[in-house]
A and B are shown apart, each in its own frame.
Chain A
Amino acid sequence: MKKVKQTVRIMTLVATITLTMSCKDAETKNDQPKNHSEMNHQKEKNQEMSMNNGQMTSGETILNKYFDLKDALVNDNNSKAKDMGNALAESLKTFDATIYSSNEKNELNDIIQDATEHAEHIGKSDIKHQREHFKMLSKDLTDMVAITGSSIKIYEQYCPMYDGGTAWLSRSENIKNPYYGSSMLNCGKVQREIN
């Protein structure tokens, strides 16, 4: 009996060791898709550069991706929100702040850096965590719009229930709450109109 116990113990150990080793392997393999997405990223960058020739397109592109992400959260769609988060992160990285004054540029770069991290986390987490980051992302993009402006009218909406009171941006006046989705779709009111 003692021998069996010992063997079981040792076998558990071997399992642990093999697991750790294989985990390391998996991680090195992960580098490949990363390179790949970097290539895509480069392609997208080139495309975007040839497409846009000014501030508006960039700020606008980012806002549009944000609204897509918001809609995915309104629909409780975790995997769509992941895709939209990753797409948003890519656009944020190509944001061109060069035409702004140096003060604005500093603030924009700060905003973009922060927002990129939130978008990346949204790209790889469960919906509860996505919503936590979406709150901080919304704050960043509200501050971004204050500098870049927007060609369309935007509504800042606010729900007092979520996390001590939380805002988000929307293209439409109607309330559809991205923090609760179907469980409390109508929580909130328009707090401010931008433009």
Chain B
Amino acid sequence: MKIVKIIAWIALIAFVVVQFFQVDYNRSETVPQTDFMLVNNVPAMVEQSLQVSCYDCHSDNTDYPWYNKVQPVASFLEDHIKEGKEELNFNEWGNLSDRRKNSKLRSIINQIENGEMPLNSYTLIHRDAILSEAYKIAVIDYMKKLKDSLE
């Protein structure tokens, strides 16, 4: 039992130490004019879904409740934000050409239809980000309409 105690202590110390690893928070005070919600006329239900389920990783402003600041969650999130924003940044929607918008809309529809976004590893902690069937359909319908209006 002594060895167990030692391991427990080491683990606890490691956990405390790892809290000192700071991450760069993804925060922005302002929402630019090119934001998806400002460029388009988005219904409230769809806007809420995207804000809650996607904006943490696909915009310049992540919501940081306490559990997002605890390590190793914070580092995990930081990596996903970096990668997610490279793929799609809703804040910069207005800068995209019609062709690029079209591709992104198709990808968004595919990802939601296949249940690949939001990432499972993320909804494990952020239970409220899971898209219910009704919200899924509302988002997909809207994205399809938007895509058709561009074609």
Residue among B1, B71, B72, B100 with max Cβ neighbours from chain A (10 Å): B72
Q: Which of A13, A27, A111, A140 contacts B79 (CB 8 A)?
A: A27
List B residues at the A interface (Cβ < 8 Å): 1, 4, 7-8, 10-12, 14-15, 18, 71-72, 75-76, 79, 97, 99-100, 102-103, 106-107, 110
Q: Evaluate whether A13 and B15 lie within 8 angstroms (CB atoms) in the complex, with A7-B4, A7-B8 already known.
A: yes
Q: How does the 8 Å CB contact mask read for A1-44 relative to B, with 1 for contact and 0 for none?
A: 00110110011011011001101100100000000000000000
The smallest beta-carbon distance between A50 and chain B, in angstroms, is: 31
The smallest beta-carbon distance between A116 and chain B, in angstroms, is: 11
Q: Evaluate whether A114 and B99 lie within 8 angstroms (CB atoms) in the complex, with A14-B14, A20-B76 already known.
A: yes
Q: A132-B110, A136-B102, A136-B103 are in contact. List 12 more A-B contacts (CB 8 A).
A: A6-B8, A7-B4, A10-B8, A10-B15, A14-B15, A16-B72, A24-B79, A110-B100, A111-B99, A114-B99, A118-B103, A136-B106
Q: Which of B11, B103, B106, B110 contacts A10 (CB 8 A)?
A: B11
The smallest beta-carbon distance between A105 and chain B, in angstroms, is: 14
Pick 29 A–B contacts, CB within 8 A, sort by A.
A4-B4, A7-B7, A7-B8, A10-B7, A10-B8, A10-B11, A10-B15, A16-B72, A17-B15, A17-B18, A17-B72, A20-B72, A20-B76, A21-B72, A24-B79, A27-B79, A110-B97, A111-B99, A113-B100, A114-B97, A114-B99, A132-B106, A132-B107, A132-B110, A135-B106, A136-B102, A136-B103, A136-B106, A140-B99
Q: Complex formed: what's the CA distance from A6 to B7 in Å?
A: 11
Q: Complex formed: what's the CA distance from A136 to B105 in Å?
A: 11
Q: Complex formed: what's the CA distance from A7 to B4 in Å?
A: 7
Interface SS of chain A: helix
Q: Which of A10, A20, A110, A113 contacts B75 (CB 8 A)?
A: A20
The smallest beta-carbon distance between B73 and chain A, in angstroms, is: 9
B7-A11 in contact (CB<8A): yes
Q: Complex formed: what's the CA distance from A140 to B72 in Å?
A: 41
Q: How does the 8 Å CB contact mask read for A105-141 relative to B, with 1 for contact and 0 for none?
A: 0000011011001100000000000001001100010
Q: Which residues of B contact A10 (CB under 8 A)?
A: 7-8, 11-12, 15
Chain A minimum-CB-distance residue to B12:
A10
A114-B103 in contact (CB<8A): yes
Q: Complex formed: what's the CA distance from A13 to B107 in Å?
A: 35
A11-B11 in contact (CB<8A): yes
Q: Which of A3, A4, A14, A24 contacts B11 (CB 8 A)?
A: A14
Q: Which residues of B contact A118 (CB under 8 A)?
A: 103
The smallest beta-carbon distance between A138 and chain B, in angstroms, is: 12
Q: Complex formed: what's the CA distance from A113 to B99 in Å?
A: 10
The smallest beta-carbon distance between A22 and chain B, in angstroms, is: 11
Closest 4 interchain pairs by CB?
Answer: A20-B72, A10-B11, A14-B11, A110-B97
The smallest beta-carbon distance between A1 and chain B, in angstroms, is: 12
Chain B minimum-CB-distance residue to A14:
B11
The smallest beta-carbon distance between A96 and chain B, in angstroms, is: 20
